[in-house]
Amino acid sequence: MSSPNNSISEALSQTTPVFSLRVWVLIAIGIGILMAILFIMVLWLSIRRKKKTGKGFDNTSQTEIPIVSKEINIDRVDAQSLNGTEVSFMPVHDKYTQMKGVPPLAETRSVDVDAFSQCSSLYNIEKAGSSYSEDYNSSGPKRAGSSPYGHASASPLVGLPELSHLGWGHWFTLRDLELATNRFAKSNILGEGGYGVVYKGRLMNGTEVAVKKILNNVGQAEKEFRVEVEAIGHVRHKNLVRLLGYCVEGIHRMLVYEYVNNGNLEQWLHGAMTQHGILSWESRMKILLGTAKALAYLHEAIDPKVVHRDIKSSNILIDNEFSSKVSDFGLAKLLDSDASHINTRVMGTYGYVAPEYANSGMLNEKSDIYSFGVVLLECVTARDPVDYSKPADEANLVEWLKMMVSNKRAEEVVDPNLEIKPPKRALKRAILVGLKCVDPDADKRPKMSHVVQMLEAVQKAYHEDLKKHSQMGSIDIESQQSLEELSNSADV
């Protein structure tokens, strides 16, 4: 009689139909597979736990980082004309924030304001120069090897989790921005537009930001989001609003901008800010020159060039030193450097849109130059680009100004609310720059770097005439050449 041990050994040694393997071999293989599965599960749980703890305050699942294509898809359409309505970011509700300092106004007075309208993006720009920083002087664009903007300021992203840092900004979670905006409270709304709502927020490190929440029920929301991220994520210029980061989580698409608290040019010319004083001529020229430098940088200093597509006074934000910050790249289109124009769906603001763009959808940097010319003339006159409350021959700003110049009444177009009027020579030169920019023939419009040079000449003429005025007690400077150039431009 065999022992139990021998019986077990015989049973384990029996050959099975599975590849003629013995029973004990199959048992060993099964145990090995089970141990491997357990090891993989433990490893997976460990990795998942590390990912959760790496999020800091956020216990939600890891958010996917989108791959932003460097090639922007352009909507190619047939020629179409402008329908007279605005389809881009349009500020509807204006609020105000506390102002710091006294603005350089013609009428100096203290200011105490609660909040200011922000159109898609806001300001707290770093003054430190970087490899992306560009500035322009009379010779055109030049790359800033060292900081041309004074001492370096601390980054607004200091103190945020390192895990979420990107090459150019910060990747925010939905919870980060909910905490920053008090769960997107209505009281934090700064402005609303066709594509989204802008909220004021405060990050965990104390930095004030503007959060643009893209509306998820708009067909172009995701495309517009990608365009903005690609267009301004790496852009650094002292006259451009800086994008700090973004959030992509589920259906949510949000952009986080630096915050500016001194309103925009439209408000200072026509809106709520006029109650605090009238922008002086010198302040207006400073704002225009900064805007021109920003556009020259976008058009001529980076590749691919960027066409803003919606230059208007409400998209020119103003800081406490009355320097301009060009905002709202929601309509920006990237152009390849070898592309002379591109057909794209007409979007923009009525009164600022170039005629060839409105009529045919032909887009290049000359479209921005036309819009800038309208802004310049708006600054000089403090008139809206289109105002149907005025007589028919005065409703369109550009056409009215051409008529006034042709009738040799250029001095009458200046903002009547200016307490100190500009000298005649500086006024005529400024008008001449504006008329060159709004030339109906796009090919005759100057490049933005040339516009920068001309505006610098306007400023120089202004200061020279002020100096003569202080020495002589009065000035009466007439420039026949300026008059002839103005008349020629008005006759176009």
The structure tokens listed for 465 are 């005439």
Q: Beta strands of 108-221 (E only): which ranges?
A: 134-137, 140-143, 170-171, 189-192, 196-202, 208-214
Beta-carbon neighbour count of residue 304 at 10 Å?
17
How far is Cα 237 from Cα 298, in angstroms, rounded to an integer? Answer: 9
H-run or E-run covering 246: strand 243-249
460 among annotated binding-site residues: no
3-state secondary structure of 396: strand
Beta-carbon neighbour count of residue 388 at 10 Å?
10
Annotated catalytic residue: which of 310, 328, 415, 465?
Answer: 310
3-state secondary structure of 437: helix
* Contact in structure between 18 and 30 (CB atoms under 8 Å): no
Which pairs from 227-230 meet CB under 8 Å and 24+ separation? 227/72, 227/329, 227/330, 227/332, 227/333, 227/334, 228/255, 228/329, 228/330, 228/332, 229/68, 229/255, 230/68, 230/69, 230/70, 230/72, 230/334
The answer to whether 310 is a known catalytic residue is yes
Q: Which residues contact 360 (CB under 8 A, 6 or more apart)?
A: 79, 343
What Å distances lie between residue 444 and 439, 458, 470, CA to CA?
7, 20, 38
What Å distances lie between residue 479 and 220, 295, 486, CA to CA?
51, 29, 11
Beta-carbon neighbour count of residue 7 at 10 Å?
10
The residue written with tokens 């141990």 in the block is: 35
Of 414, 378, 404, 369, whose CA–CA distance to 486 is shortest?
Answer: 404
Farthest CA pair distance, the chain = 136
Of 395, 343, 392, whose CA–CA distance to 364 is shortest?
Answer: 343
The residue written with tokens 């945020």 in the block is: 160
Handedness of CA 467, 471, 473, 477 (dihedral sign): negative
H-run or E-run covering 462: helix 448-472
Q: Please enumerate, by residue number, every residue annotated as part of a binding site.
A: 213
List, by residue number, the catalytic residues: 310
